[in-house]
Amino acid sequence: MPAGRGKKANDRIRAVSRHSLAYILCAISELFRHYEFDPLDLLVIHAVLNANVINVMKDADLDERFGSIDAVEPDSIKRGVSRAALSRFLNLPLETIRRRAARLKRVGILAEGPEGLIVTEGNQFRFGDNHYLQKTNILLVRKLLRDLASVGVKGPDDL
């Protein structure tokens, strides 16, 4: 490795860490601002929502089919997630996940699918189909990409 390259790569790592953390915090802040929910419930809801659509994101055809802002993944294709998997992923006690999930099921946000918990497509709070938050996220992603470009990251090979 050339003499100056190691320091430059380390400087870039630090810059990427700062900018990506700023993106994450801004995105979370928007969730908290938009929904009057306990922050831990929002974390559980969005972890379930993410787990539900991992299969969609890994399938190019499904990803394209449900990539539009006007397309919502139907409950029938969502992959459920177990409470134990959520507990491990979020590093929260299983009993905390059980209590939170039970309450979120009672209010109609979560449902029990064949493989575990899903965020219902017709939930009254529009989790997973909130156009305002989706558009806000695009603004935040654009800012992240501009910020990364300003520190020399134009693509994955720059990392």
Q: What is the pLDDT of residues 51-85, one digit of tens each?
A: 999 999 999 999 999 998 888 899 999 999 999 99
Most trustworthy range by pLDDT among 40-49, 70-79, 122-131: 40-49
> For residues 31-45, b (16+ Cβ closer than 10 Å) or e, as one string?
beeebebeeebbbbb
pLDDT confidence band for 2 (50 / 70 / 90): very low
What pLDDT, on a 0 to 100 scale, did the predictor assign at position 5?
55
Mean pLDDT value across residues 87-111? 97
Rounded to two decimals, the pTM is 0.86
DSSP sequence for the chain? --HHHHHHHHHHHHHHHHHHHHHHHHHHHHHHHH--S-HHHHHHHHHHHHHHHHHHHT-HHHHHHT-STT----GGGPPPB-HHHHHHHHT--HHHHHHHHHHHHHTTSEEEETTEEEE-TT-TT-TT--HHHHHHHHHHHHHHHHHHHHTT-SSGGG-
Examine the pLDDT at 3 and tell me if it is beyond 50.
no
Examine the pLDDT at 1 and tell me if it is beyond 60.
no
Query: What does pLDDT average to over the chain?
Result: 92
Angstrom distance (rounded) from CA 23 to CA 111: 30
pLDDT confidence band for 6 (50 / 70 / 90): low
